[in-house]
Amino acid sequence: MEANDVAACWEANAETWTRHARAGYDLYRDAQNTPAFLANLPGIAGLEGLDIGCGEGSNTRKLAEAGARMTGIDIAPTFIRHAQEAEAETPLGIAYRLADGMALPFGDGSFDFATAFMSLMDMPHQDKVLAETMRVLKPGGFLQFSILHPCFATPHRKVVRDENRKVLAIEVRDYFRPTDGEIESWRFGAAPEHEKASVEPFRVPRFHRTLSDWVNMIVATGLAIEMMHEPSVDAETARALPYLDDTLVAPLFLHMRVRKPAPAV
């Protein structure tokens, strides 16, 4: 599967995805993944930032609210339309563009930092995305990204629970099997049943790579790893939001920050 096929999948998802995410049905994003990501983000006030795979712009807006001058790109026109409409309604100075992360339409050294919230694992050639990001970063700039955890969100993942619905284990298989656009069909589990029944499931292409694949791609690009984080909910949050309690047992997400070397002085 190549970029045009991926774009078609996400364009088909974009309208429902935007509506459901903005209705609060993406609990993993709102209650865990994005707060943990932002907690580990260095200060960005006054910096030029690029959000790669921005979707409908929710996280891009959070970065702009933190003081960054943001540009967001996505491969799906409907996502960009929704993001631009939100910007028009409440301007934060964000520029959104339809673009592919594997071929960024920006000059060398254009940005102080880049982010990619849960987008890189949906791109066919992550090595090209990393190389392109390296190119558009200024020396000393960083990329911080989140992905499905390569070790615990493999092509087969099952949450094992006891008779009281308590999580006992996470069952994983096929860790070493790369997927190159294998389609996963699912809905936001927190959506009401009547809402889930009224829409087609999302069709999401997966490009699973092992943890060592990711590290080796980063090293080959010349980026230096400076932070890794595996977010988990605490026991209090798990009681309040049992939908997230599987992450008490094993992480669902992996966050990394990598940096472009600065010239020696």
What b-and-e string marks burial along 12-40, b requiring 16 or more CB atoms within 10 Å of the CB? ebbbbbbebbeeebbbbbebbbbebbbeb
pLDDT at site 247: 92
pLDDT at site 117: 98
pLDDT at site 237: 84
Number of domains into which the chain is organized: 1
pLDDT at site 236: 85
Question: In this structure, is residue 141 part of a structural domain?
Answer: yes
Question: In this structure, is residue 158 part of a structural domain?
Answer: no
CATH number of 43's domain: 3.40.50.150
pLDDT at site 46: 97
pLDDT at site 218: 98
Domain limits at 203?
3-150+179-259
pLDDT at site 161: 92
Question: In this structure, is residue 168 part of a structural domain?
Answer: no
Question: In this structure, is residue 174 part of a structural domain?
Answer: no
Question: In this structure, is residue 123 part of a structural domain?
Answer: yes
**What is the distance between the alpha carbons of residues 38 and 29, in angstroms, rounded to a whole number?**
12
pLDDT along the chain (265 residues), means of 10: 90 95 93 95 98 97 98 98 98 97 97 98 95 98 98 95 91 94 90 90 94 97 97 86 90 97 83
| Entry pTM | 0.94
Question: In this structure, is residue 99 part of a structural domain?
Answer: yes
